[in-house]
Structure 1
């Protein structure tokens, strides 16, 4: 009787309690802070590695298409690597050439810029701004400093050539190993099916993001280039291409693409031309890239618009300008690893996903 009672008591004894919820939350936050600090310290490595991963994911379907058409695997892998290199070279060339051309043509408009500054100061004087305030404003407007900033930016981009060798080597090895990505994911699926599904969702969502962003950026770039050509803005086609490239940066890419043509519109056509350029960019670029595109991107990758904006600020702060460009894929990767890959965290998808979860089905009444 005693043995039975003891045995029954052991079976009914509660299991060892886990950590209190508050302690678990604090430990999780502390771990995230440590990881973020490490990523920020190694941003020179993390950002290029993730850029290489995104480029490989973007071009990888080309490998499968060539293999299905009967091409040898070595040829499909070589074409994949060359396509990755071509995408990287085109993107880098457009950005560097845009900054270089802007830094080259701006000194030729020094007289026009001085005239714009003088007329602006006169207009301020008519509205009651005194001579002392005008002198302080004029002293703060240093055209040479602005040109120095632009040339410094160009020098910084040129300084990336040292990391280019590492990036190209990484792209080569990732491109070669991408041919065996399918069997690797399948091996993961045998032990961790949720992780494998999350990784597949990350690759699919990244491609959807790139497709939607490319289509919207192409439309806005063509419209802007046509309008700028009609207004006689120098290098209109180049600024249209720049708009297309900067469209990959959520929210703030619009403002980056606006600055060069707006500045040249002021110098070549005055404030009237600048107002037309600003109105066109606001009507086309802002509506498409800041209203329409986030909605389609959110639906394509499963991220809410608010989370996309917060992710943009966070990754730009953590990894720098390249983090802003890769903000959506980085946020998507964090979501699939922390939420989608863990069945216990699926409830978080109701807060960070693009769509509210479907209501549970109502229980059917059992027949009497």
Structure 2
């Protein structure tokens, strides 16, 4: 019996490795497909409501256009942010030279040898920074090239979504647990993306006003970047912080950079770490640790799209492997970190 069980575990592990290798190899297709699915799920209730007031095809067209505008806005925010940073850095060439000299002197006074001091100061070289920003923009362009597939997939998903309720009702008679699990995935995805958008907008407004008040150039662009990065769990605000902090360093020196970093941390700590999880955590059903591991894992498997879709992808896996299994409900507290109603009474023989 033990040998049989060990053999099954080995087969399952081997199958898992094969699936992960396939997902990583097909990331260019799986990532855009997952993004198109998440956006379709997010906007499906809107399509259903519009379908009661207008023809089905017209409701699908309206929702599709809305999704296209949303993707265009997010894309524009990313492109403008990268271009703004790339155009600002060369204008601070003299400030970077002074800062590089200051870093060299500081490192030397701390006892480091000359090669190490030159390496630390060379990190602030204008050419290197522009080269790094160019590489960043190239990565963004490559990411945007996959949006053509996203837009095409959404075109078909938007019209296929009209028959979702009818198909789900037919499948429920044969696989009720699977349909319920997929409905849970859809609801969790809508909750996560909707709440991330709301709190991301709040963070964007606060950050924009704060940067404008401090006199940091490009405040509106950095606010838009903060909105986009809010969809990346745990470390999104760090990604959104780097460009304005760098510009603040060049514009007003270390003092202004420290002020920007501190205010960003305070705003995001309160909104993203205290307030937002209270509204999202219980509905999504993923623990904080698992959310962070999801970010690392899906970013490794699918690339930048995986970072944006870390939570929805984990919700889909949770629905298929845990919620769809009638005997798998005991695993849910391990995933969500919340005991819920699954704590059983001790057997009568152990009661006092």
1:152-163 aligned at under 5 Å gives the runs 152-160=135-143, 162-163=145-146
Q: Give yes or no for the alignment of 1:122 onto 2:105.
A: yes
Counterpart of 1:279 in structure 2 is: 262
**Distance 1:132-1:43 versus aligned 2 partners, 3 A rule:** closer
**Residue 56 of structure 2 is aligned to residue 73 of structure 1:** yes
1:23 alignment counterpart: 7
Give CA deviations for 1:243-291 in whole Å, capped at 9, x if unaligned.
Answer: 0110100011111000010000000011111110011011111343245
- Judging changes above 3 Å, is the alpha-carbon distance between structure 1 residues 300 and 161 closer, same or farther for their aligned structure 2 residues? closer
**Partner SS, residue 173 of structure 2:** helix
State whether structure 2 residue 194 is matched by structure 1 residue 248: no
Shift of 1:80: 1.3
CA distance in 1, matches of 2:12, 2:24: 18
2:184 maps to what in 1? 201
One of 145, 149, 152 as aligned partner of 1:169: 152
Unaligned runs of 5+ in 2: none
Inter-partner Cα distance in structure 2 for 1:277 and 1:138: 23
Contact persistence 1:311–1:331 (CA under 8 A): yes
Cα distance change, pair 294–37 in 1 and its aligned pair in 2 (3 A):
farther
1:214-253 pair list within 5 angstroms:
214-253=197-236
Residue 10 of structure 2 is aligned to residue 39 of structure 1: no
Contact 1:299/1:354 (<8 A) preserved: no
Whether the 8 Å contact between 2:104 and 2:118 is mirrored in structure 1 is no
Partner in structure 1 of residue 169 of structure 2: 186
> Which of 89, 92, 104 pairs up with 2:87?
104
> For the Cα contact (< 8 Å) 1:262–1:274, is it kept in 2?
yes
Residues 62 and 80, structure 1, Cα contact 8 Å, conserved in 2: yes
Task: Return the TM-score normalized by structure 2.
Answer: 0.92
Q: 1:263 to 1:295 in 2, by over 3 A?
A: same
- Per the TM alignment, residue 174 of structure 1 is displaced from its structure 2 partner at its CA by 0.7
The offset of 1:81, in angstroms, is: 1.0
Q: Distance in 2 between matches of 1:183 and 1:112?
A: 64
Output the CA distance in 1 between the equivalents of 2:89 and 2:222: 15
State the alpha-carbon separation in 2 of the partners of residues 301 and 307 from structure 1. Answer: 12
Q: After the TM superposition, which of the residue ranges 333-342 and 121-130 deviates more from structure 2?
A: 121-130
**Residues 143 and 304 of structure 2 are in contact (CA less than 8 Å); yes or no, is this contact kept in structure 1?**
no
Aligned partners of 1:289 and 1:62: how far apart in 2? 26
> Is this contact kept in 1: 2:90–2:126, CA < 8 A?
no
> Once the two structures are superposed, what CA deviation does each residue of 1:169-214 show, in whole Å capped at 9, x if it has no partner?
1110011111111111112111100000001000000011112212
1:269 alignment partner in structure 2 = 252
Which of 41, 57, 69 matches 1:57? Answer: 41
**TM-score w.r.t. length of structure 1:** 0.89
Pick closer, same or farther for the CA change 1:131–1:57 going to 2, 3 Å: same
Larger Rg: 1
